């Protein structure tokens, strides 16, 4: 599910760069998604 959210946010981010549609908000969401991804990867590596 996290991967789906990240892909959607990346698509919205690209559209925001092209059309300047809610760019700041989408950038913020993308940063949050990347942080969550990094946390998930770190926690997954520790559990092994």
pLDDT digits (tens, 9 = 90+) for 6-34: 777 778 777 777 766 666 676 777 788 78
The predicted model scores a pTM of: 0.51
Mean pLDDT of 34-48: 80
pLDDT at 37 over 80: yes
45 — alpha (psi -120 to 50), left (phi > 0) or beta? alpha
- The Cα–Cα gap between 27 and 42 comes to 23
* DSSP class per residue in 1-48: -HHHHHHHHHHHHHHHHHH-SSHHHHHHHHHHHHHHHHHHHHHHHHT-
Residue 1, number of CB atoms within 10 A of its CB: 5
The pLDDT value given to residue 23: 61
Confidence at 48, pLDDT banded by 50, 70, 90: low
Each domain of the chain, given as residue ranges in start order, spans: 2-46
């Amino acid at each position: 599910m996290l991967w789906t959210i990240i892909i959607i946010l990346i698509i919205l981010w690209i559209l925001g760069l092209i059309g300047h549609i809610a760019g700041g908000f989408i950038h913020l969401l993308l940063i949050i998604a990347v942080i969550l991804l990094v946390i998930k990867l770190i926690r997954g590596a520790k559990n092994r």
